[in-house]
């Protein structure tokens, strides 16, 4: 495809590159058919054309042509960050428009105009998430803040909001932090049970390693029981998805390169993830690194070997547990699993293989829950409006357990259950398979 005649007047470094121009050119594939409107969560909230995928693409073109302003606080700026990057529009788009890539590059451009991110955001994204030691310190600090009088003192002195603007208003979003003994690192190498079928690499993840380590433990138990040797690395602990979605493509590329190097050291046959967002991002490393000399081939290799845990078990075969699990379970499909990786049938197949488990239908199972990485923290009102609608659908299903395959979704739904006063278990499908 030829490059557009008019390029952005004030592009960021990425948008001025051949990669950036290619993504802008791909926006021209949008034919404004409107098939994305019914599946877009923000359009469903507002009914505004500007809050739809085709509306945002129209504004991207208008900014590139100089017809509208791209200044901080503009309608364009607001709509860019109103998007959850759930990728539901990509599933229904007949032209194959890559909305995730367009939004990431547009946010990168906007970041050049808005200046450095807040202290809290930069510290979280660039210091805490990529490093296991900082993650543990952050989890410890959160536990102390929420479970001791120290938090009340810091709030009263205004220190919390000085360090993290708006934090006290969002305390209801704070997840439960498990005790330290439930946040222990897994061993670097776990042997298989019985005959070895091969070696897989597994990454515990950033948030999951501190808040949902029980899911990681269940994952490696199922893998080793099925004959796989499991190799892990600790740093970087983050895949870079949150950075890319925030428009920090430079740092996202740094993390991608480090993860590729660590994966190569494991000599593993496959790279297994139990996080839909991480798996989707790693499978897109080739797109992220396509202009980086010497990295494209390596990025394609890791992407080709990356599997979601449910996808992997169905592909390679697994031993179902024999113990019955008499439960009514609804399966909610994480956006970056069903839309990003196009993995839908496999997790449901795993659940249906469990004796006694009844998989009940869930209306809107492929709709976004509103978590979207940092979205629930940065656009809390919008996130909660989307979540409340989902909780109504979950209640109507009559399920006892909601199963979903992404850490952010699990934490979001646990918050939703508390808000709705529902006695509901939120679990990863791999936990149900592990328990049998």
Q: Tens digit of pLDDT for each residue in 259-305?
A: 999 999 999 999 999 999 999 999 999 999 988 889 999 999 999 99
Is residue 7 in a domain? Answer: no
109 and 47 within one domain: yes
Alpha helix segments (H runs only) across 93-212: 99-114, 119-122, 132-147, 150-157, 159-163, 207-211
Confidence at residue 49, expressed as pLDDT on a 0 to 100 scale: 93
pLDDT tens, residue by residue, 52-107? 999 999 998 888 878 888 888 889 999 999 999 999 999 999 999 999 999 999 99
Range of 346's domain? 320-435
Task: Report yes or no on whether pTM surpasses 0.85.
Answer: yes
Average confidence score pLDDT of the chain? 87
Whether residue 169 has pLDDT greater than 70: no
Residue after which a domain boundary falls, among 314, 333, 351: 314
DSSP conformation letters of 249-281: HHHHHHHHHHHHHHHHHHT-SEEEES-HHHHHH
Q: Which of 314, 334, 369 is the last residue of a domain?
A: 314
Neighbours of 28 (CB within 10 A): 14
- Place 16 in a pLDDT band, splitting at 50, 70 and 90: very low
155: which residues sit within 8 A by CB, 6+ positions away?
A: 161, 168
Terminus-to-terminus CA distance in the chain, angstroms?
A: 51
Tell me how many domains the chain contains.
Answer: 4
Contact 245, 85 (CB under 8 A): yes
- Tell whether 66 and 140 lie within a shared domain: no
Structural domain ending residue among the three candidates 75, 97, 114: 114
Domain assignment present for 143: yes
- Joined together, the tokens standing for residue 316 give 């390679």
Q: Quick check: 21 and 256 in contact, CB under 8 A?
A: no
- Where do we find the tokens 């909660």? 384
């Amino acid at each position: 495809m030829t490059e557009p005649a008019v390029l952005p007047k004030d592009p960021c470094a990425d948008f001025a590159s051949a990669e950036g121009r290619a993504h802008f050119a791909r926006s021209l594939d949008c034919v404004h058919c409107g098939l994305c409107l019914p599946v877009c969560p923000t359009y469903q909230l507002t009914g505004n054309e500007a809050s739809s995928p085709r509306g945002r693409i129209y504004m991207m073109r208008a900014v590139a042509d100089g017809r509208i302003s791209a200044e901080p606080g503009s309608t364009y700026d607001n709509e860019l960050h109103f998007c959850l990057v759930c990728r539901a529009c990509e599933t229904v788009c007949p032209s194959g428009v890559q909305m995730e890539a367009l939004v990431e590059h547009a946010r990168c451009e906007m970041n050049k105009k808005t200046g450095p991110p807040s202290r809290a955001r930069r510290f979280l994204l660039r210091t805490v998430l990529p490093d296991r030691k900082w993650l543990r310190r952050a989890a410890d600090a959160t536990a102390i803040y929420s479970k001791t009088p120290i938090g009340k003192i810091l709030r009263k002195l205004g220190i919390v909001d000085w360090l993290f603007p708006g934090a006290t208003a969002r305390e209801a979003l704070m997840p439960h932090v498990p005790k330290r003994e439930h946040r222990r690192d897994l061993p670097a190498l776990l042997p298989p049970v019985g005959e070895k079928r091969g070696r897989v690499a597994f990454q515990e993840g950033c948030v999951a390693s501190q808040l949902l380590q029980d899911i990681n433990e269940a994952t490696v138990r199922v893998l080793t029981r099925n004959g796989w040797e499991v190799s892990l690395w600790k740093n970087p602990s983050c895949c870079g998805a949150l950075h890319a979605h925030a428009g920090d493509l430079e740092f996202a590329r740094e993390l991608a390169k480090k993860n590729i190097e660590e994966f190569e050291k494991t000599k593993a046959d496959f790279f297994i993830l139990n996080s839909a967002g991480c798996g989707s991002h790693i499978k897109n490393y080739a797109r992220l690194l396509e202009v980086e000399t010497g990295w494209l081939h390596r990025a394609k290799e890791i992407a080709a070997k990356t599997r979601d845990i449910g996808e992997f078990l169905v592909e390679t075969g697994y031993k179902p547990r024999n113990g019955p699990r008499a439960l009514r379970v609804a399966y909610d499909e994480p956006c970056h699993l069903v839309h990003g990786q196009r993995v839908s049938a496999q997790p449901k197949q795993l659940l249906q293989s469990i004796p006694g488990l009844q998989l009940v239908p869930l209306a809107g199972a492929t709709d976004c829950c509103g978590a979207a990485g940092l979205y629930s923290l940065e656009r809390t009102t919008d996130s909660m409006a989307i979540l409340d609608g989902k909780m109504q659908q979950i209640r109507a299903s009559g399920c006892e357990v909601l199963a979903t395959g992404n850490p952010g979704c699990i934490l979001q739904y646990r918050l939703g259950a508390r808000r709705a006063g529902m006695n509901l278990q939120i679990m990863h499908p791999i936990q149900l398979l592990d328990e049998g």
